[in-house]
Amino acid sequence: MLFYHLQSHPLEQVLPILLERCLERDWRALVLTGSEERAAALNAHLWSYRDDSFLPHGSAADGHAAAQPIYLSATFVNPNHAQVLFLTDGADCEDIAAFIRCVDLFDGNDETATQAARDRYRRAVAAGFEVTYWQQTERGAWERRG
C-alpha cells in the first residue's frame, strides 16, 4: 500500500500522472472518491488535464464499465476488474487485498485528512500490508518517508 501525502500539488495534478503509469504497465485502475460529485468532477478533469495526453476512463454515467481502463466511483465496485485501487478524498476500502496495489492520496494541508490517513496507515500496517509513505516536497518531488 502506498500513501501519497500531497502538499504542493493538488490531487488533480498528481492523479493523472499516477494513472498514466498504471496504463503504461497495462494495469486497470479504480479511483474511489468521497462523493459522486467528486467522481464526476475528476471524470471531467481527466478529459482535459493536459492537451497532449489521453487517459481512457469513465464512470457509471458513461456506461460500458467493464471496458473502462480507469473507472471512477464514489462506491466500492470493481466492474473493470482493476488491479490498482486509488483512494481519494478520505475514501476507505476494506477489500484492499483484492488489488495488486492500493494508492491512498490525501491532502497534507488538511489536518483532518492527514489524521484520517494516519489512521488508515496504522490499520494497513496492523493488517500486515507492506506500506510505503511518500511526501511531496515544495517543488513537487516525492521523498520516501517510510
Please state, for a pLDDT cut of 70, what percent of the chain lies above it. Answer: 100
The pLDDT, as a whole number, for residue 128 is: 95
Please state, for a pLDDT cut of 90, what percent of the chain lies above it. Answer: 86
Instruction: Report helix, strand or coil for 95.
Output: coil
The pLDDT, as a whole number, for residue 138 is: 84
Is pLDDT above 90 for 72? Answer: yes
CA distances in angstroms from 125 to 1, 29, 94, 132, listed in the order given: 9, 23, 14, 10
Total-model pTM: 0.94
Nearest CA among 119, 86, 91, 104 for reference residue 6: 104
The pLDDT, as a whole number, for residue 87 is: 98
Q: What mean pLDDT, rounded, does the chain reach?
A: 94
Give the integer Cα–Cα distance in Å for 139 and 45. Answer: 23
Is pLDDT above 90 for 66? Answer: yes
For 5-56, how does the pLDDT look when each residue is reduced to its tens digit (9 = 90+)? 999 999 999 999 999 999 999 999 999 999 999 999 999 999 888 888 789 9
Q: Extract the C-alpha cell encoding 113.
A: 485528512
